[in-house]
Amino acid sequence: MYEIDPSRTDLIEEFDRNPGGPHGAELALAVNRLRLGPMGERFIIVCTRRGREWAVGRMPTARGQPVELLEGLVFDDYAAAAREVFRLRWRAATGRDAASRGRSGSRGTAP
């Protein structure tokens, strides 16, 4: 399995510039790896108001349980929600925080 080098801040910057892709080869490998965390660490984007609002959630550990929406992580911009999910997944996979450039498009505060 691809191991992410936590010092590769260039990958974070590339994702920030274009969260929807297309991504370069190294970033594509990293993004695919970030999608494979344990269920309790799988962060997702949940559309809470069609085309207008997205929240960050965490997948349940058991089938049939509801997605847990993370308090204060509600966005009116899909790309901003994608950046936040990328950062949460990065921290879960590497144990290090991704440098934050702010939460453009967000409302509320982080948990």
User: Cα–Cα–Cα angle for 86, 38, 27, nearest 5°?
Assistant: 35
Domain that holds residue 86: 9-95
Asked if residue 101 is part of any domain, the answer here is no
Per-residue pLDDT of 23-81, as tens digits, reads 999 999 999 999 987 777 799 999 999 999 999 999 998 889 999 999 999 999 999 99
Asked if residue 42 is part of any domain, the answer here is yes
pTM to 2 decimal places:
0.84
Asked if residue 109 is part of any domain, the answer here is no
Q: Domain count for the chain, please give it.
A: 1
Strands 68-75, 106-107: pairing kind: antiparallel
H or E element in which residue 87 lies: helix 78-94
Q: Which residue in this structure is represented by tokens 């982080």? A: 110
Confidence band for 5, pLDDT divided at 50, 70 and 90: very high
What is the chain's percent helix, strand, coil content, to nearest 5?
Answer: 35, 20, 45
Asked if residue 110 is part of any domain, the answer here is no
* 68: Cβ contacts below 8 Å, ≥ 6 apart: 57, 58, 60
Tell me how crowded residue 30 is: count the other CB atoms within 10 A of its CB. Answer: 25
Asked if residue 108 is part of any domain, the answer here is no
